């Protein structure tokens, strides 16, 4: 698949590594420009591009930048993406450590991904947000392996969600359907599933036991 990755940090970098290793055609962008992505490009064979070109021709676009920077992304970000393209959002809101207070989440009660989706102007599928970046490299397992980790995936578009779950399976992880985007508080920071390294059963239970109240440490 042709995949655009916006953000080349912990998560974006490791997704670039694994997706290129699986043979996908990956374009990757950061905020400073493609000239700063030479090492990652050399290591992986991914194509470094300006952020405005990351989605060009892409069937899947992964947005993996700090939450507070989402509104900085340029208008027309998805111009030229493939028909029916899917956007994956890996983001988390860390008001006290990184992002500051964001009214859409705090006052309007939007889930983090719903807030991101509104800014992006395109439906998103929430995935990888509770996955340690290093696990993307170190924890892939073949289907059926007893220690295969499962990741929750939330989103409103069932077809898109199926495609994303198939890609995650290819990356070496099981998935659990975590419902629509309005249910995605169940996988936000500090919930039982966040950072959990368990299989389908453990993840399913953790999602079910989440509390809708935003934890104190994650309020702005």
Ligand X SMILES: NC(=O)c1ccc[n+]([C@@H]2O[C@H](COP(=O)([O-])OP(=O)(O)OC[C@H]3O[C@@H](n4cnc5c(N)ncnc54)[C@H](OP(=O)(O)O)[C@@H]3O)[C@@H](O)[C@H]2O)c1
Binding site for ligand X (CB under 6 A): 6-12, 29-32, 51, 64-67, 69, 72-73, 90-92, 128-129, 131-133
Please, what is the minimum distance in Å from the beta carbon of residue 62 to ligand X? 10
Please, what is the minimum distance in Å from the beta carbon of residue 216 to ligand X? 18
Residue 36 DSSP class: G
Give the span between the Cα atoms of 132 and 11, in whole angstroms. 8
Q: What are phi and psi of 164, to 5 degrees?
A: -65, -40
Please, what is the minimum distance in Å from the beta carbon of residue 48 to ligand X? 11
Residue with Cβ nearer ligand X (83 or 121): 121
Burial class of residue 212 in the structure, from the number of CB atoms within 10 Å of its CB (0-12 exposed, 13-18 middle, 19+ buried): exposed
Residue for token pair 């993307």: 136
B/e letters for 58-76, b = 16+ CB within 10 Å, e = fewer, are: bbbbbbbbbbbebeebeee
What is the number of the residue whose Cβ is closest to ligand X? 9
Residue with Cβ nearer ligand X (85 or 194): 194
Is the four-CA dihedral 120, 126, 127, 133 of positive or negative sign?
positive
Please, what is the minimum distance in Å from the beta carbon of residue 147 to ligand X? 20
Residue with Cβ nearer ligand X (60 or 65): 65
Residue with Cβ nearer ligand X (158 or 178): 178
Give the span between the Cα atoms of 61 and 63, in whole angstroms. 6
CA angle 33, 39, 44 (to 5 degrees): 105
Q: Are 15 and 62 in contact (CB under 8 A)?
A: yes
Nearest to 55 by CA among 105, 124, 2, 93: 2
Please, what is the minimum distance in Å from the beta carbon of residue 133 to ligand X? 4
Nearest to 126 by CA among 182, 206, 201, 83: 182
Residue with Cβ nearer ligand X (68 or 205): 68
Please, what is the minimum distance in Å from the beta carbon of residue 93 to ligand X? 8
Residue with Cβ nearer ligand X (58 or 159): 58
């Amino acid at each position: 698949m042709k995949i655009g990755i916006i953000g080349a940090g912990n998560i974006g970098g490791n997704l670039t590594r694994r997706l290129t290793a699986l043979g996908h055609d990956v374009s990757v962008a950061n905020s400073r420009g493609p000239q700063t992505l030479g090492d990652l490009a050399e290591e992986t064979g991914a194509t470094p591009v300006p952020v405005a070109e990351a989605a060009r021709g892409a069937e899947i676009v992964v947005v993996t930048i700090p939450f507070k920077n989402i509104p900085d992304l340029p208008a027309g970000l998805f111009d030229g993406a493939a028909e029916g393209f899917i956007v994956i959002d890996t983001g988390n809101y860390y008001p006290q450590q990184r992002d500051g207070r964001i009214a859409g989440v705090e006052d309007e009660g939007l889930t983090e991904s719903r807030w991101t989706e509104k800014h992006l102007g395109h439906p998103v599928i929430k995935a990888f947000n509770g996955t340690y970046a290093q696990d993307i490299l170190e924890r892939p397992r073949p289907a059926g392996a007893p220690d295969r980790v499962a990741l929750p995936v939330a989103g409103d578009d069932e077809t898109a969600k199926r495609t994303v779950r198939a890609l995650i399976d290819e990356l070496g992880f099981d998935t659990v359907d975590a419902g629509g985007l309005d249910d995605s508080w169940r996988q936000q920071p500090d919930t039982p599933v966040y950072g959990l390294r368990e299989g389908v059963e453990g993840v399913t239970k953790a999602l079910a036991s989440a509390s809708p109240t935003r934890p104190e440490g994650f309020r702005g």
